[in-house]
């Protein structure tokens, strides 16, 4: 049995850990709220740009008449190499967030029969894939829990360049959709070549005049659209990471409190046992003295 002193020391350290995890939980909660606001604020732009893109390509003749060489992003080619863009966290202590996203990515990759290259966002993903000997062609770090639009542009532009140089013929993105703080769903989507969103049914659009032409519009729109898709994924993943961290830290705090109370009990028991033993010794000693005197 541990001495009361040892138990006391253990109790203090667990209590301190509890304080730290509680602080981390509150930080994550505050930042989660901001991340959710950001996700909401980015929605109108994403919706609008999708609408404009579908307006541009709503006329089938527009797509058919396009010069394929001018719009490499929309061009479907024979798939020999598949790229995976995996979004993950930079830091740990976020529960199963990173490992869920990575598990999803690995499952996808193992099903893929073509050559695979990996682009990672987040330190955890980079470390994971380099350690396992995957072909990591690009890695972005430093913004997993607070992505800005510029980060999305950077990721998207790098991907576009590689796609144009035939670094891969198709790009899938693996990210985590934020449902609630308790549930985040890893998802995979194809983002390159760009699949123009289908027109909503029953919505008759006016025929647009293009200034300068639909060709130029599409040339600028396609990369912009990709940027918004990447940005949406980054924002979702950031919210998931923070949500997951919040939940993990909250349960860590609860566990610490539970551990402290069970340690308190064994401390009290050990202390009481010590007192009883000392009493016994004293009484025993007195008895022995009495007998010796008689």
What are the residues binding other proteins (CB under 8 A)? 38, 41-42, 44-46, 48-49, 51-52, 55-56, 149, 152-153, 205-212, 214, 216-217, 220-221, 224, 227-228, 231
Closer by beta carbon to other proteins, 208 or else 281: 208
Minimum distance of other proteins from residue 197's CB (angstroms)? 15
Region for residue 202 given its phi and psi (left: phi exceeds 0; alpha: psi -120 to 50; beta: otherwise): left
| Closest to 225 (Cα-Cα) out of 37, 20, 74, 15 | 74
Closer by beta carbon to other proteins, 105 or else 160: 160
Kind and range of the H or E element at 172? strand 170-178
| Closest to 88 (Cα-Cα) out of 125, 41, 51 | 125
- Residue 179 has a CB neighbour count (10 Å cut-off) of 13
Minimum distance of other proteins from residue 75's CB (angstroms)? 20
Minimum distance of other proteins from residue 56's CB (angstroms)? 7
Residue pair 126/105 in contact (Cβ under 8 Å)? The answer is no
CA 251/CA 22 separation, integer angstroms: 9
Instruction: Outline where 2-119 has alpha helix (H).
Output: 4-57, 60-65, 97-111
Closer by beta carbon to other proteins, 41 or else 107: 41
CA torsion sign, 180 to 182 to 188 to 192? positive
Vertex 44: Cα angle to 178 and 30 (nearest 5)? 45
Closer by beta carbon to other proteins, 56 or else 118: 56
Minimum distance of other proteins from residue 14's CB (angstroms)? 42
- Residue 67 has a CB neighbour count (10 Å cut-off) of 7
Minimum distance of other proteins from residue 194's CB (angstroms)? 16
Minimum distance of other proteins from residue 87's CB (angstroms)? 17
Closer by beta carbon to other proteins, 76 or else 208: 208
Closer by beta carbon to other proteins, 107 or else 164: 164
Closer by beta carbon to other proteins, 54 or else 139: 54
Kind and range of the H or E element at 176? strand 170-178
Minimum distance of other proteins from residue 151's CB (angstroms)? 11
Residue pair 176/237 in contact (Cβ under 8 Å)? The answer is yes
CA 130/CA 125 separation, integer angstroms: 8
């Amino acid at each position: 049995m541990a001495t009361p002193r040892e138990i006391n020391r253990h109790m203090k350290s667990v209590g301190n850990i509890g304080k730290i995890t509680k602080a981390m939980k509150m930080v994550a909660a505050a930042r989660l709220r901001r991340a959710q606001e950001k996700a909401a604020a980015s929605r109108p732009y994403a919706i609008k740009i999708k609408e404009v893109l579908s307006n541009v390509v709503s006329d089938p003749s527009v797509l058919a008449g396009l010069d394929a060489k001018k719009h490499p992003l929309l061009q479907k080619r024979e798939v020999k190499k598949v790229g995976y863009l995996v979004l993950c966290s930079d830091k740990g202590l976020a529960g199963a967030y990173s490992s869920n996203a990575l598990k999803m990515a690995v499952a996808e990759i193992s099903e893929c029969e073509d050559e695979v290259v990996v682009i990672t966002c987040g330190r955890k993903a980079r470390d994971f894939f380099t350690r396992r000997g995957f072909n990591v062609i690009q890695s972005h770090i430093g913004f997993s829990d607070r992505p800005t639009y510029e980060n999305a542009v950077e990721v998207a532009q790098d991907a576009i360049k590689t796609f144009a140089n035939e670094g891969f013929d198709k790009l899938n993105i693996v990210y985590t959709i934020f449902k609630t703080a308790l549930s985040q769903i890893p998802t995979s989507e194809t983002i390159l070549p760009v699949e123009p969103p289908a027109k909503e049914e029953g919505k008759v659009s006016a025929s647009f005049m293009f200034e300068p032409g639909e060709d130029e519009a599409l040339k600028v729109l396609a990369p912009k659209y990709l940027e918004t898709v990447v940005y949406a994924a980054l924002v979702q993943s950031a919210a998931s990471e923070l949500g997951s961290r919040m939940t993990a830290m909250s349960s860590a705090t609860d566990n610490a409190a539970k551990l402290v109370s069970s340690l308190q009990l064994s401390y009290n028991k050990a202390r009481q046992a010590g007192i009883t033993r000392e009493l016994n010794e004293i009484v025993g000693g007195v008895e022995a003295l009495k007998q010796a005197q008689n």
